[in-house]
């Protein structure tokens, strides 16, 4: 029987590549998206064209009613849920002193509340042998200026992940977080000049930016064979410190 995965933020960026990778692994994938139906359907079409099984569902991750509907629809359509991957998130950069608090509240709503709401449904519904994978950031570790508010939201996810893994005792469900470093997605390039990008490309010993496929590979491992990795934040950043 195929494992069933929900990928929030699955219509673009890292989320889409994660959705495609899990489908390639043989999982049935639900692409959860916030607002761009055309982009979500494009992701579903790409998965189906490659021989996979997928569908799309619109839900604001911070809205508990919409998220509950996402999980209920997935269970009715496919019979259960085995994997939940939380890639949905927003990143607004500024020095702490200059940050508009409305931007901080927007990030907190999507990144922290959104992850919490999705996790709450996930832990109530994941089948034995399941995996919950949150998304953090290596910025909590490497302390890049202008990322203070974003890192604060992701630090909350780290704490949530580690505690939730222990709260799932006896359920045979793993809970981990993936913390990408600089990764070549449209979100990453916003507001960065070429000099900044070049400098980031040299930060890792491998001397390149991460690619979405690099991150999807880690998610694939945690979502499938990695049954003895639990309660961890995995820094997928090519060795940036």
Tell me the torsion sign for CA atoms 62, 174, 18, 73. Answer: negative
Q: Is 188 among the residues known to form the active site?
A: no
Which among 33, 78, 150, 235 is annotated as catalytic? 150
How far is 29 from 10, CA to CA, in rounded Å? 9
Alpha carbon 193 to chain centroid, angstroms: 26
Comparing CA positions, the residue from 83, 109, 104, 79 lying closest to residue 10 is 83
E strand or H helix that includes residue 134: strand 131-135
How far is 162 from 32, CA to CA, in rounded Å? 24
Other residues' Cβ atoms within 10 Å of the Cβ of residue 110: 21
Q: Would you say how long the chain is, in residues?
A: 241
Q: Is the Cβ–Cβ distance between 10 and 40 less than 8 Å? A: yes
How far is 113 from 123, CA to CA, in rounded Å? 15
State the catalytic residues.
150
């Amino acid at each position: 029987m195929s494992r069933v995965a929900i990928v929030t933020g699955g219509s673009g960026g890292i989320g889409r590549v994660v959705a495609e990778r899990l489908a390639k692994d043989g999982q049935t994938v639900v692409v959860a998206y916030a607002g761009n139906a055309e982009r979500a359907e494009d992701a579903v079409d790409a998965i189906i064209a490659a021989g996979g099984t997928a569908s799309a569902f619109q839900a604001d991750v911070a809205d508990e009613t919409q998220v509950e509907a996402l999980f209920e629809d997935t269970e009715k359509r496919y019979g259960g849920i085995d994997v939940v991957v939380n890639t949905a998130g927003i990143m607004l950069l500024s020095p702490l002193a200059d940050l508009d608090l409305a931007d901080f509240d927007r990030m907190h709503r999507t990144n922290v509340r959104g992850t919490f709401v999705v996790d709450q449904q996930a832990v109530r519904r994941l089948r034995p042998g399941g995996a919950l994978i949150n998304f953090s950031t290596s910025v909590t570790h490497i302390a890049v200026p202008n990322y203070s508010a974003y890192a604060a939201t992701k630090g909350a996810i780290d704490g949530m992940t580690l505690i939730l893994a222990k709260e799932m005792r006896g359920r045979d469900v793993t809970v981990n977080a993936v913390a990408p470093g600089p990764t070549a997605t449209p979100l990453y390039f916003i507001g960065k000049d070429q000099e900044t990008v070049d400098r980031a490309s040299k930060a890792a010993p491998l001397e390149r930016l991460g690619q979405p496929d690099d991150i999807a590979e880690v998610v694939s491992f945690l979502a499938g064979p990695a049954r003895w990795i639990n309660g961890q934040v995995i820094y997928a950043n090519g060795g940036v410190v």
